Amino acid sequence: MITLTIDNREITAKEGATLLQVCLDHDIYIPHLCYLEGMEHAAASCRLCFVEIEGVAGPVTSCTTIVKEGMVVKTDTEVVRHLQRASLQLLLSVHHVDCAHCPANRKCALQDMAKFLKVGLKPKYLEQHLKEPEIDQGHPYLDYYPNRCVLCGRCVLVCKNSHDRPFLTFAKRGLDTVISFYEEDRAEMPCDECLACVEICPVSALMKRKVG
């Protein structure tokens, strides 16, 4: 066990734990999207979980930082909040903000974080970039909404954890990046029974197709 200071609180943590996990375990909320408990290599792709550490130049992502003895961490500084707001606003600029018609309404990770960071859901200074089509029904059992998706990659990760040969992947790149499956895998898909990706999605971008 090691001791560190987070937001002026003395905290003991297990050696080798990530800073983000230690904070979450002690009810210190840090906004995050792409991190999953127990993941081996955090992707740090959502750029939300920044913290400042005394003696380290610039903010760092807490999901990729391993706790050290005597670390002094601040999670609520001006610089950190500025970065988090910018990341969230960029995510919202490619998100179809249509909460009233969205099944994730009120249990949505984006809404929670916007409230926490005091960010409007429609960023004023950024253009909206939406993808087409609004809904992708290529998958035999699932509907995918690219404009709800924030590309956190949790679904890809749980798919990889639940199946030797996963069925979900990122496809294309840049602003065109989507979560995709491979058309030719269709016949072997166990997705109607698994649904791990649907459950993990923080924004209801993957939904089980309603039959009839």
Pick between residue 50 and residue 181 the one whose CB is nearest to another protein.
181
The CB-of-177 to another protein minimum distance in angstroms stands at 9
Within the chain, strands assigned E span: 2-6, 9-13, 50-53, 60-61, 72-74, 142-144, 169-171, 178-180, 206-208
The CB-of-36 to another protein minimum distance in angstroms stands at 19
Q: Which residues of 120-159 are buried (b: 16+ CB within 10 A; e: fewer)?
A: ebebeeeeeeebeeeebeebebbbbbbbbbbbbbbbbbbb
Pick between residue 51 and residue 142 the one whose CB is nearest to another protein.
142
Q: How many residues bind another protein (CB under 8 A)?
A: 16
Range 83-112, binding another protein (CB under 8 A)? none
Range 157-196, binding another protein (CB under 8 A)? 163, 165-173, 180-185
**What mask, x for binding another protein by CB under 8 A, covers residues 109 to 148?**
----------------------------------------
Helix, strand, coil percent values for the chain (each to nearest 5): 30, 15, 55
The CB-of-180 to another protein minimum distance in angstroms stands at 7
- Interface residues with another protein (CB under 8 A) are 163, 165-173, 180-185
